[in-house]
A and B are shown apart, each in its own frame.
Chain A
Amino acid sequence: MKKRVAQLLMLASLAGTGLTQADTLPEALGSSFEAINHVDMGRLQRDPLQEFCSKPRGQAGDSAMESALRDEAMASVVFPAGDDFIGDWARGAEVANNGRGLQYSDDPEAPNGGNCYACHQLDPAEVAYGNLGPSLTGYGARGQSDVMLRYTWTKLWNTHAYNVCSHMPRFGALGILTEQQLKDLMAFLFDPDSPVNQSIE
Chain B
Amino acid sequence: MDLMESIRNAWRLAALFGLLVAAAPSFGEDAGIFDEYRAMFGDDNPAVFVIDEGEEYWFEPQGPKNSSLEGCDLGLGPGVVEGAYARLPRYFADADMMMDVEARLIFCMRELQGRPSEEIQGYPYSMRGDLGTELEALVAWLADQSSGMPIAPGQEHAKEREFFTLGEQLFYYRAGPHDFSCATCHGQEGKRIRLQALPDLTSHEGAAGAYSAWPAYRISEGVVRTMGWRMRDCFRQQRFPLLGVGSDVTVALQTYLAVTAAGAPMMAPGLKR
Contacts and interface: CB of A to CB of B under 8 A. Distances in A.
A complexed with B = yes
B16 interface: no
Looking at chain A's contact residues, is the secondary structure mostly helix, strand, loop, or mixed? loop
B174 A53 contact: yes
A10 B26 CA distance: 44
B82 interface: no
A56 B171 contact: yes
A15 B239 CA distance: 23
Given A32-B243, A43-B239, A118 B194 contact: yes
Nearest to A176: B177
A43 B202 contact: no
A13 B161 CA distance: 26
A44 B241 contact: yes
A22 interface: yes
A113 B236 CA distance: 16
A119 to B, nearest CB: 7
Interface in B38-62: none
Contacts of A118: 193-194
Nearest to B242: A36
Interface string A160-185: 00000001011000111000000000
A130 interface: yes
Looking at chain B's contact residues, is the secondary structure mostly helix, strand, loop, or mixed? mixed
Interface in A32-76: 32-36, 39-41, 43-46, 49-50, 53-57
A197 interface: no
Interface stretch (B67-75, B143-151, B162-170, B205-213): B162-170
| Residue from the set B170, B177, B235, B243 with the largest chain A CB neighbour count within 10 Å | B177
Contacts of A200: none
B80 interface: no
Interface residues of B, number: 47
Given A39-B240, A43-B177, A169-B179, A22 B248 contact: yes
A50 B174 contact: yes
A119 B172 CA distance: 19
Contacts of B191: 130-132
Interface residues of A, number: 49
B224 interface: no
A28 B179 CA distance: 19
| Residue from the set B190, B192, B194 with the largest chain A CB neighbour count within 10 Å | B194
Given A22-B166, A131-B191, A174-B178, 11 more contacts: A18-B117, A23-B162, A28-B170, A33-B243, A39-B241, A54-B173, A54-B181, A55-B172, A103-B239, A118-B193, A169-B180
Top 5 nearest A-B pairs by Cβ distance?
A: A32-B247, A32-B249, A36-B242, A28-B248, A33-B241
Interface of B: 96-98, 117, 159, 162, 166, 168-181, 184-185, 188, 190-196, 198, 202, 235-237, 239-244, 247-250, 252
